[in-house]
Structure 1
Amino acid sequence: MSTPEITVRGGGVFGLSVAWACLKRGAKVRVIERRAIGAGASGGIVGALAPHTPENWNDKKQFQFDSLIMARDWWPEVETVSGLPSGYMRTGRVQPVMDDKGLDLARARSKGAQIFWKNLAHWSVDQSAGTTWEPPSPTGWLIRDTLSAHIHPRQALSALAAAITTRGGEIILGDGEARGQVVHATGYEGLLEIAKEMDQPVGNGVKGQAVLLNHDAIGQPQLFADALHIVPHLDGTVAIGSTSEREFDDPTSTDGRLDDILRRARLAFPVLAGAPVLARWAGIRPRAKSRAPMIGGHPLDPDAFIANGGFKIGFGMAPKVGEVMADLILEGRDTIPDSFKPEASLT
């Protein structure tokens, strides 16, 4: 039997994850990226790997949970093969409880976590200890979960690309010839191309802005408060994000919306008040119409595949997206939830 050949178009986290999963199963893999690895939304700076709430359970929440659990072994393997850090660490997350109604809901979700998370991770409601690395909580209570993790997006993509080439895969920047089965992982531009060809909305791009501070909180949990993700990276920086903008003129410019995020973060967390700004980032995240990742057979080409629509949860979903796509492409096994298939965004 000949070695299967796979070409992945797109060097973001979905494309590289599919390539890595196929490569590990013995396929000959080529990645073609027109610009640079992580040129799109995957090249951001936040890297919050956070779960959906443990209630009203569905296929999307189960898929994300499975992927977050997989990540504990998946990213260290990438680091071992590549010799590079990914910035992955499962340190959990802390959120404030804003009022008595929220406290009742948080405790109910704690019971849901016992059912749906199956003791692989925990959700608890605890009284504040009053440390500087806690969100202010009007009730004095905090939600802590042990499932949330963080990753350094740019480090992770560099490590994943290096792991692919170390194992014999090929990465081409610019134009390249597709060989064998083709997977399109081309971000929001790919969604817009499909929409134009089919003359119907299937997805779009949502702009996000984030900021990186020089502040050492290594090993601390990520924080979520006032709609802000505050992520302490392992290189001694803290990322804060992000906006969600449906309308924009310049996809890569930062503006007053980011200034507002920084102001709110420093007001809520005085420990960050004097931290210098290292970088400001803006980019466009691909959002499928269904709000779930769009993975499976390509809607325009019956002989091709698609892995797109990671939106805000691409890195958290990536380990399992890679595996189920490898199941489909190499073994013909369709283990993809119906809500993730392209058809869910075509109705």
Structure 2
Amino acid sequence: MAGRTGSRDEVIIVGGGIVGCSIAWHLSCRGRRSRILERSEPGGLATHAAAGILGPMNETDRPGPFLDLMRKSLSLYPAFVEALAEETGLSPDFSASGILAVAPRPEDRAALLARFAWQQALDPSLVFCEAAEARSLEPALTGEFDSAIYYPDEGHVYAPRLIKALLGSLSRRRIPLEQGITVSRIVPSGQGTLLVHDREGGCREAEKVVLAAGALLSDIEIPGTRIPVSPVSGQILAVRSPGSFYRRVVFYPPHGYFVPKLDGTVVIGATEETIGTRTRVTPAGLMEFLAPLSSLAPGLLELPLHHTWSGLRPKSPDALPILGPHPECPGLFIAGGHYRNGILLAPVTGEILADWIEEGASRLSRPFLPDRFLKTGDR
């Protein structure tokens, strides 16, 4: 095995996806050095596979801390992407063009109205639309449907361009990113630091380590209780639109969406499959979210297929993110379990972990701390 490397005051971040890169960027903004260790391609399992939807209201069925966290992160996005674009000249294609959530049938209307009631109490800008008004907002909805909720302040970002801009910024700031490093275990050194061992035989030493390894986070051996994160596979595809006919993100039952990107690509998704760490694209999977479009937005089915892909979402047992220090291992921090919302939550996750590392606390992370997965008697 190689000798220990690394600077004790350099934060080691395990995972070079959108979450890990955001943490490194936010630490850099506060003058703190970090080093990212990535097993393969930065963002390869989840970030590059993400549709990039920024829609807090469609990711939960109730008000509470999780919705508050998502809305906070959405509010950070304009300044976040502006700073990246200004520094690197790379645009993440952020668009706050609004989102529509559609009720296809009259029998779906009551549930949509109930959702609208509690959501509008939080955000008065929301609009309940009859079908004709919704069509004026999104001309792609040429089929029959009952009604929709319009979320004017939500939108999307192009995830591959976002992480490209983040990586460009980190490179300019001379934040090292080491690829081909598969971290296997983390152990205390006995001298107030942590030793980060990898399968390639390396060992790095740091006072603070962040696990942001996405769907593979639970594969890493750590002191105390292992953090429970499991991979959920998702299939997705993209078609090419010849113009700017498609305007807004649309959610439709049971779990479909389409996302018109600024470059003319329309992303359509997505499945959820528990099949371990495998990724696959199947005709049956694609049909899950394509079939409903035949009666809702049939024009999308006539567009040229651009490509298909699948990725892995990191899901915790309660489907909520895990953010903060591991209570059984001083110096170890967790940033995982973002599930469907890694892109949306990237800015606020960066802020929260930077708060913990630099200030020793973060009010925002209280409901999402890792200690909720410890045995009751150990808490």
Same fold (TM over 0.5): yes
Question: Deviations 1:230-289 (Å, cap 9, x if unpaired)?
Answer: 0111121011111110135x7222112333146325513122122122211112111011
Match of residue 236, structure 2, among 186, 189, 210: 210
2:250 aligned with 1:223: yes
* Matching residue of 2:129: 126
Listed as ranges, the matches of 1:311-322 within 5 Å are 311-322=339-350
Task: State percent identity of aligned pairs.
Answer: 25
Q: Does the alignment pair 1:263 with 2:290?
A: yes
Aligned to 1:164: 170
> What per-residue deviation string (whole Å, max 9, x for no partner) do you get for residues 281-309 of structure 1?
11211101121111111366322111111
TM-superposed deviation, 1:3 = 11
Distance 1:33 1:197 in 2: 23
Residue 80 to residue 258, structure 1, CA distance change in 2 (3 Å)? farther
Between the aligned partners of 1:67 and 1:218, the Cα distance in structure 2 is: 29
Pairwise CA distance, 1:67: 0.7
Which residue identity lines up with residue 338 of structure 2 in the other structure? G
Residue of structure 2 in register with 1:58 after alignment: 64
Residue of structure 2 equivalent to 1:190: 217
Tell me, in whole angstroms, the C-alpha distance in 2 between the residues paired with 1:328 and 1:49.
Answer: 25
- Larger Cα-atom Rg: 2
Match of 1:138 in 2: 145
Determine if contact 1:33/1:174 at 8 Å carries over to the other structure.
Answer: yes
Q: For residues 55 and 241 of structure 1, what CA distance do their matches in structure 2 show?
A: 20
Q: Which moved more, 1:319-328 or 1:66-75?
A: 66-75
Of the three residues 157, 161, 176, the one matched with 1:155 is 161
**Structure 1 residue 218: deviation in Å?**
7.2
Q: 1:54-98 CA distances to partner (integer Å, 9 max, x unpaired)?
A: 874211111111111111221221122121121221111112234
Paired residue type of 2:284 = R
Tell me which of 59, 68, 85 is aligned to 2:91. 85
Task: Specify the SS of the correspondent of 2:324.
Answer: strand
Residue 209 of structure 1 aligns with an amino acid whose one-letter code is: Q
For the structure 1 residues 136 and 274, does the alpha-carbon distance in structure 2 shift closer, same or farther, using more than 3 Å as the test? closer
In the alignment, is the contact (CA less than 8 A) between 1:91 and 1:149 conserved in 2? Answer: yes
Distance 1:66 1:138 in 2: 32
Q: Is this contact kept in 2: 1:135–1:225, CA < 8 A?
A: no
Write out aligned runs for 1:15-34 (5 A). Answer: 15-34=20-39
Bigger shift: residues 89-98 or 125-134: 125-134
- The letter of the residue matching 1:298 is H
* TM-score, normalization by structure 1: 0.88
Amino acid at match of 1:20: W
**How many angstroms does 1:194 deviate by?**
5.7
Equivalent positions of 1:29-40 (< 5 A) are 29-40=34-45
Deviation at 1:14, TM superposition (A): 1.0
What SS does the corresponding residue of 2:73 show, helix, strand or coil?
A: helix
Q: Which residue of 2 is the match for residue 252 of structure 1?
A: 279
- Where in structure 1 are there 5+ consecutive unaligned residues? none
Asked if the contact 2:217–2:229 (Cα under 8 Å) also holds between the matched residues in 1, the reply is: no
Residue 41 of structure 1: CA displacement?
A: 1.1
CA distance in 1, matches of 2:349, 2:219: 21
**What is the DSSP-based 3-state SS (H/G/I as helix, E as strand, rest coil) of the residue aligned with 1:64?**
helix
Which secondary structure does the structure 1 equivalent of 2:275 belong to? Answer: coil
How far apart are the structure 2 equivalents of 1:330 and 1:165?
22
**Code of the aligned partner of 2:43:** G
* Structure 1, 71-80 or 8-17: larger mean CA deviation: 71-80
The residue type paired with residue 285 of structure 1 is R
Q: Structure 1 residues 162, 99: CA separation in 2 closer, same or farther (over 3 Å shift)?
A: same
Q: Which range moves more in the overlay, 50-59 or 317-326?
A: 50-59
- What displacement does 1:137 show? 5.0
**Once the 2 structures are TM-superposed, how far is the Cα of residue 25 of structure 1 from its aligned partner?**
0.7
Q: 1:74 aligns with which of 80, 84, 87?
A: 80
2:304 to 243, 267, 276: 276
Q: Out of 231-240 and 49-58, give the one that drifted further.
A: 49-58
Q: Which residue of 2 aligns with 1:341?
A: 369
RMSD in angstroms over aligned alpha carbons? 2.8
Give the distance between the partners of 1:135 and 1:11, measured in 2 at CA: 41
TM-score (norm 2): 0.81
Query: Which residue of the other structure, out of 288, 305, 318, is the alignment partner of 1:290?
Result: 318
Counterpart of 1:313 in 2: which secondary structure?
A: helix
Counterpart code for 2:285 = L
State the alpha-carbon separation in 2 of the partners of residues 317 and 128 from structure 1. Answer: 31
Q: Distance in 1 between matches of 2:115 and 2:289?
A: 30
- Which has the higher mean CA deviation after the structures are superposed, 36-45 or 153-162? 36-45
Q: Mind listing any 5+ residue stretches in structure 2 that lack a counterpart? A: 1-6, 182-201
Partner of 1:305: 333
Structure 2 vs 1, CA of residues 83 and 109 (structure 1 numbering), >3 Å: closer, same or farther? Answer: same
Is contact 2:18-2:47 (8 Å) kept?
yes
